[in-house]
Every structure is written in structure tokens, then in C-alpha cells.
Amino acid sequence: MSQVNNNEQTLSNDMKTYYKDYLCDNANENLVHDQFGQKHPIPKGNGKTIEFRKYSPLPKATVPLTEGITPDGQELKVSTVTSTVAQYGGWVGIPDMLELTAIDTNMVQATEILGDQAGRTLDTVTREVLNGGTNVMYAPIIKDGVVTKVNSRSSLTSDATLSVDLILRAAAKLKNNLAKTINGSFVAIIHPYVAYDLMKSAEWMDAHKYAAPENLFNGEVGKIGNVRFVESSEAKIFRAPDLLPNRRTLTAFQCSDNVIDIRERIGSENLQSIIGRTIIINGQVRKIVNAETEVGLLDNITLDEAISIKEDDIIYPGEAAQDGAPVYSTLVLGANAYGVTELENGGLEHIVKQLGSAGTADPLNQRASAGWKATKTAERLVENYMIRIESCSSFADEYAN
């Protein structure tokens, strides 16, 4: 740090570079979902719209050439996908009651925390876009040796876990869709709880057994067949919030058409929060369109459609698996499936305001701050080059809420 008159501190160029690089390093550690997309620079002076381009493959040229005759040329088909960039950011205040010798240490700690926040934020932006893809596979329910096919998220149960066969099927579909590999393999972004299920299989190969450290992707843990796995606790989880505060499920008492009397009290303060919620009863998915609570009478919920139930059936929250278990997304990706904006050249900015830098807005030099600002967007480019596998986890059954 350098010091100037009036006890105002400014950052040297070396220190600015250090803090900026440190912020970017910490952010990059969390950008798991950005790793495998096309990287595009942030447009400068060209508005807020960025254009991604994708090229259609040419048809096979199966007609033999005729000597001395040039065949007709083929048209190169280019389609564009546009996306509007948005800005994200955060900052922390740094109090003035610190010794001058401690300012750098405090700024380093703030920069580390901000870098982590930036990385998780920007990674989530990309993650949400990728998980809106249209190609979905659901893990089958396997219980007591019986395999039951699943066609929707709400039909999954805690017995529908990710398997080697499902991974190989996803890879086969990508191959059939002519998706190219990423450095020789397809890549799957997987949650640690789901990776736990796969790691127990004989086909699993730990990352250190097939690749040198410098050739590993960020977060890479292993491989099955032609699919390399990158583990991230930020992998998408489809969770179902509790139906009531401190109560995950409800219990049906009796039903008339689409109105269910329930054993528990909803409470007038919870009526608005439960209306509009999706529920699952015995695999049947319905939406709550009204709820009532009256003194001396059973509380009831009105559904959007009639339903048939039995007394004491459990009513589960319906945004995840049918038994309330969380549903985990495993993204299996080929090359050029999606595009993202780069962090460099304005994509991610580290902003430091030293004590005294605010002028009359901070007359006693009491406030310093550190923050970050990023310009970001992500876009799916070729749906057929990516597959989302939805499953539950045996690990989550016991340990996760």
C-alpha cells in the first residue's frame, strides 16, 4: 500500500493487479458450468445483445464426381441465437477501525469472499439456462428387482437413482445426435450425492488413474465409458419446500371430489403461501387453488382437479419427487452445446474504494469498500448436444434434507 496526505490510502498498480487476479482466480474455481461452452467476448459499444452462431452440418456427398465437371456448390447454413447480457454484482464495506498494517490482509480476505460469491453467482446463471434444456431422461425406479419406467419428475421416487446404464444411454444418444466430444469425451456435471451412487460401481474409474493433474477439468472426479464426470455442489437440485412452516407433508382425512379435509391445521397466516402449491398424493399431481381454516372444523384444501384418495394418505410437496425427495440434475454435454460470455475484457471487474475516496460523501474517511461487477449471459445453442438426467440419490435419502 502507498500513503498520501490526509491519511488517504491508494492502491499501487501492482496491488490492483494482485487483487483483480485474486478475485478472478477465486471466481473461476466456481465456474464449473461455464467450462464447456463456447466462449464469446463481451460486446463493447454495441448494445446489450450478443449473437451466438451455429452451423448446420452439410448432407453427405454420395454422388460420384464426373470427370471434368465441377459439381454444384452446397450452401453453408448459419443460424444465429441472440441473447441479452445482464449485470450482476456485490460488495462489502470495510470499517475504518483497522490498523494500516491490517488493511491489506482484510482486503485479501474480502476479495477471496467476493470472488467466491461472484463465481457461484455467475455459475448459477449458466446452470439455470442449461437446466432449461428440452432433452431429458429420467432414472427408472428399481425396487425389489422390479424396474419401473419413469416419464416425469413427479413420478420419480427415492428408489430412482443414477446408474451406469443410464449414463451409457445418454452418451449413445449424444453420439447418435452427431454431438462432438470435449477433449475426447463427453462431460457430465454431477452433484456429489449422485456421484456417490456411481462411485460404488465397478465401471467407475477415478480421475487420477487416467489423466495427469494438468489435463483434468475443474472439479473432475472420474470417468465411466466415454463420459468424464465433473463434480459440483452447485449442480441443479429440484427441491420441494415444506408445505407448511416446520411441516413437510400433510395428512388426508377425507375427500369429496376435489376438496380434501386434512388432519393438520393450516393456520390463517399460511393460507396464501399454500395456495398455488403443487402436491403429490399416491403419484397423482394436483395444484392447490384454495385453502380454508375454520374454528371447530377440519381445515381443507381445494385442488384444480378431482382426486381419489384414502384416509391417512400422505400429501407430499409436488415440486420434486413423488415422495418429497429432492431431484438431482446430471448434465451430459457434448461440444458446442451452449455459449457463454467471457470473464476477461470487462466480463468481471473488481472494484476497490479506499478510505477517503468518496469525498464529501464520506467526510470522516470512515468507509472503504470492495466489490465486483460482471456482465453475463448464457444460451443453449444445440439442444441435441446436451441431455439432462434427473434422478434421486440413495445418499440424500439418509443425509440430505
Residues 6+ apart with CB under 8 A from 57: 178
DSSP character for 401? -
Beta-carbon count within 10 A of 171 CB: 22
Residues 6+ apart with CB under 8 A from 372: 23, 27, 89, 90, 91, 114, 115, 117, 118, 348, 349, 350, 351
Rounded to two decimals, the pTM is 0.85
* HEC assignment per residue over 340-392: EECCCCCCEEEEEECCCCCHHHCCCCCEEEEEEEEEECEEECCHHHEEEEEEE
Contact 377, 84 (CB under 8 A): yes
Q: What cell does 328 get?
A: 438431482
Beta-carbon count within 10 A of 157 CB: 19
CA distance 226 to 320: 30
DSSP character for 170? H
| pLDDT lower than 50: segments of the chain | 1-9, 99-101, 103, 399-401
CA distance 97 to 201: 56
Cross-strand bridge partners of residue 332: 188, 387
Closest among 103, 132, 89, 147 to 349, alpha carbons compared: 89
Residue 153 — φ and ψ, nearest 5°? -60, -40
CA distance 300 to 278: 15
Beta-carbon count within 10 A of 38 CB: 15
For residue 194, the SS3 value is: helix
Model pLDDT, residue 368: 80
H or E segment to which residue 28 belongs: helix 13-30
Beta-carbon count within 10 A of 22 CB: 17
Considering all CA atoms of the chain, what is the largest pairwise distance in Å, rounded to the nearest integer?
95
Residue given cell 470492495 in the structure block: 370
Closest among 196, 239, 386 to 327, alpha carbons compared: 239
Model pLDDT, residue 2: 32
H helices within 77-226, ranges in order? 100-130, 164-176, 192-199
H or E segment to which residue 280 belongs: strand 278-281
Contact 224, 183 (CB under 8 A): no
DSSP character for 32? T
CA distance 349 to 376: 12
